[in-house]
Amino acid sequence: MKRFISAAFIAASLGAAASTPLYLDVNAPIEDRVEDALSRMTTAEKVALCHAEGKFASNGVPRLGIPELWMTDGPHGVRAEINWDNWGWAGWLNDSCTVFPALTALAATWNPELSALYGHNIGEEARYRDKDVLLGPGVNIYRTPLNGRNFEYMGEDPYLAGEMVVPYITELQKNGVAACVKHYALNNQERWRGHIDVHVSDRALHEIYLPAFKRAVIDGGTWSIMGAYNKYDGQHACHNEKLLLDILKGDWGFDGVVITDWGGAHDTREAALNGLDIEMGSYTNGLTTESAFSYDDYYLARPFLEMIQSGEVDEKYLDDKARRILRLIMRTSMNTSKPFGAMASPEHFAAVKTIGDEAIVLLKNAPLGKKKPALLPLSPEGSGKILVVGDNATRMLNLGGGSSELKAKKMVSPLEGLRRVYGDRILYTQGYAAGRPMYGQAEDIASEVTDSLRRVAVEMARDAETVILVGGLNKNSYQDCEGLDRLDYALPFGQPELIEALLAVNPRLVVVLLSGNAVEMPWISRVPAVLQAWYLGTMGGESIADVISGEVNPSGKLPFSFPVRLADNAAHAMGTISYPGDSIRQDYLEDIFVGYRWHDTKEIPALFPFGHGLSYTTFDYGKPTLSASSMPYDGSITVTVPVTNTGAREGKEIVQLYIGDPVSSLPRPLKELKHFSKISLAPGETRDVTFTITADDLRFYDPDRKEWIAEPGKFDVYVAASSADVRRKASFTLE
């Protein structure tokens, strides 16, 4: 269905209630059009704007020809059409989409240009489907590898997430489709998500958990924000006074719309007074359950209207909500200059392939003996048989996972991709069984089935030249799945035992992990090659095959740390009140020391550190040059470092710049990411990479003064290939 709002239709819709038409000139300022529309609306019509009228639609003003807002889930694709008033698929024949890489994969590219490409293309698909609001992207911080929804987010570092989210939003919204950045804020686990009360220091809130949202608002100009399910300091995030009024709409000057997560509203008075604008999905769990309540029973429906009419709530609160919603409608559904969009086009598939190529992280690539080459890349030339093992080699990972489930137009599996490159050299066996994606319960696989599949794989591996295990997690319950956290850190479905058994008969083993989370690797010292290949979407199998064969030189780097053990992760190291909490309350006792900040400062080595990723070539970092030895408080200095490709093939390197403040009035991490640059170098080529440092890069949040400060003194500059691979170091003084 397409909507075309003509001037004649709008004028006719006004009827006798209006003596003059609404602004029909699309070039009139939006704020003038908003005020004109608001002046013509009844109180009941304003209230109606503030709540749903369908599963993924909120009200317009039919009397005035103002259309409703149509929304869609969109972590990494435009969701299939959902029935108007239940969670079932509507059964449309024209709603199959491009499946884009999950956002952990996008973050792993460390390439803002690809984030812009992603936003542009997914925006075209949302526009083609006539959606006004795309419910994404997500920028919650990766705090624990057990969070079932980490795959929808952009990693553990607020600077990286902020750099990647801004171009996504700006390019998406050029299609006349609003980004709805989520989940604001502190939704860092799925367990007890609907009521867990998060307690975190103001310093950690401002330094770790809010910066990416702030960038989305101030630099990205996002038109909407989705509130989180959880509580923060006793109030639900969807109507939290501090988060929504004081910070979002106050400090940051957000002029857009706050939308609940589905079922995230809990109180009419708080919702009325504390900054919530549109209420969606109330009296459901936001994922599967239904209720007997009508849309008029919502907190911001009849109860809100009654509060206004009785004088209990001043109508100025309603007018602020209505202005924001009208502004969003005019930016989206009434935007006559937006493009037409496109759906599942060759250009979109090509964009997915480009992003996937740069997202894959080569975690390990070791030779099988002295003076032997590394196992990867695996040449397409040759006659030796290659055994592909693993349920994930054929599983359609667009299914399951909660609201990220997608109806794909096309999916290239890893097995298909490998067969395209290696032809009839490829053999396949399942190796392990993972069961069906069933929400809310884990499917048990009979041990005799597991044993049988493993025995077949081992026997076939004996005669293969090389074995490629495509494993990891999937979108089943208690894995990478909305509403449920993982139960443990280990690979599921007997994969660790399968890996050990394969190694016993064939040391030429490549492990390809498809997941949005870190996993435990007790076998890592004996496996020569490991790829982290995420959920890469429509063209994922082609990207995986091209990296394994060497057609593509891997250039992705981790957006989060892989701890050796779960206890090495900061949230878990601080006891159960830190994660998962006591079912009512949770305290972020690690404070600002999240991810690599914890590993570095506490000297707890990660298995694979933040920013880690190997290449099929090598890079040398020269001595950095600082433009000055000291910096005025309101000035800047530049750091220039020459980087040389010392290998035999072209490759891309991500040069990372961290800054440390060794003497501070408050505890600080050893170093923090402040800049990065992804460059491409031919063999033997050298390029100077220059970063500009300002006082903003040196500040921390002082909770007593409630402001960001930088203290004079010495600062260390770390030029690095990862948080644990510092290539060069320098220092300067802040005056």
Domains for the chain: give ranges and CATH numbers: 7-331 (3.20.20.300), 346-556 (3.40.50.1700), 561-611 (no CATH), 618-734 (2.60.40.10)
Quote the percentage of the chain above a pLDDT of 90: 90
Task: Give 712's contacts (C-beta < 8 A, 6+ positions apart).
Answer: 633, 733, 734, 735
pLDDT tens-digit series, residues 219-238: 999 999 999 999 999 999 99
- Positive or negative torsion for Cα 518, 521, 525, 529: negative
Which residue's entry shows tokens 């890996």? 499
Predicted TM-score (pTM) of the model is 0.95
Range list of H helices, 17-82: 30-40, 43-49
The predicted structure's pLDDT at residue 6: 43
The predicted structure's pLDDT at residue 19: 43
Residue 653 CA to residue 288 CA, distance in Å, equals 44
Range list of H helices, 465-608: 495-505, 540-549, 570-573, 596-602
Residue 532 CA to residue 517 CA, distance in Å, equals 10
pLDDT tens-digit series, residues 417-427: 999 999 999 99
Between strands 700-702 and 707-709, the pairing is: antiparallel
pLDDT tens-digit series, residues 610-659: 999 999 999 999 999 999 999 999 999 999 999 999 999 999 999 999 99
pLDDT tens-digit series, residues 143-166: 999 999 999 999 999 999 999 999
- Extract the tokens encoding 153: 């987010």
- Extract the tokens encoding 524: 């890592």
Cβ neighbours of 726 (radius 10 Å): 17
Q: Give the bridge partners for 709, in sequence order.
A: 700
When pLDDT is cut at 50, 70 and 90, the band that residue 22 belongs to is low
Mean pLDDT of the region 38-54: 97
Quick check: 722 and 656 in contact, CB under 8 A? yes
- Extract the tokens encoding 163: 């750099």
Cβ neighbours of 343 (radius 10 Å): 18
Residue 577 CA to residue 560 CA, distance in Å, equals 23
- Extract the tokens encoding 730: 């320098």
Per-residue pLDDT at 180 exceeds 70:
yes
- Extract the tokens encoding 581: 């909490």
Mean pLDDT of the chain: 95
Range list of H helices, 522-606: 540-549, 570-573, 596-602
Q: Which residues are catalytic?
A: 261
Residue 590 CA to residue 599 CA, distance in Å, equals 12
Per-residue pLDDT at 75 exceeds 90:
no
Q: Considering just the CA atoms, what is the radius of gyration of the chain in Å?
A: 26
Residue 128 CA to residue 301 CA, distance in Å, equals 31
When pLDDT is cut at 50, 70 and 90, the band that residue 20 belongs to is very low
* Largest pairwise CA distance in the chain: 88
The predicted structure's pLDDT at residue 288: 83
Query: Rounded to the nearest 5°, which phi and psi values hold at 488?
Result: -155, 175
67: left (phi over 0), alpha (psi -120 to 50) or beta: beta
pLDDT tens-digit series, residues 285-330: 888 888 888 999 999 999 999 999 999 999 999 999 999 999 999 9
Query: Rounded to the nearest 5°, which phi and psi values hold at 661?
Result: -120, 90
Per-residue pLDDT at 11 exceeds 70:
no
Cβ neighbours of 43 (radius 10 Å): 14
Spell out where 301-360 has E strands: none
The predicted structure's pLDDT at residue 443: 75
Quick check: 40 and 17 in contact, CB under 8 A? yes
Residue 230 CA to residue 261 CA, distance in Å, equals 10
The predicted structure's pLDDT at residue 289: 82
Residue 211 CA to residue 156 CA, distance in Å, equals 12
Which residue's entry shows tokens 């001595």? 623
Residue 594 CA to residue 381 CA, distance in Å, equals 45
The predicted structure's pLDDT at residue 293: 87
pLDDT tens-digit series, residues 275-296: 999 999 999 888 888 888 899 9
pLDDT tens-digit series, residues 427-471: 999 999 998 776 777 777 888 999 999 999 999 999 999 999 999
When pLDDT is cut at 50, 70 and 90, the band that residue 3 belongs to is low
- Extract the tokens encoding 314: 């001043």
Mean pLDDT of the region 563-568: 98
What stretch of H or E contains 216? helix 211-218
When pLDDT is cut at 50, 70 and 90, the band that residue 24 belongs to is low
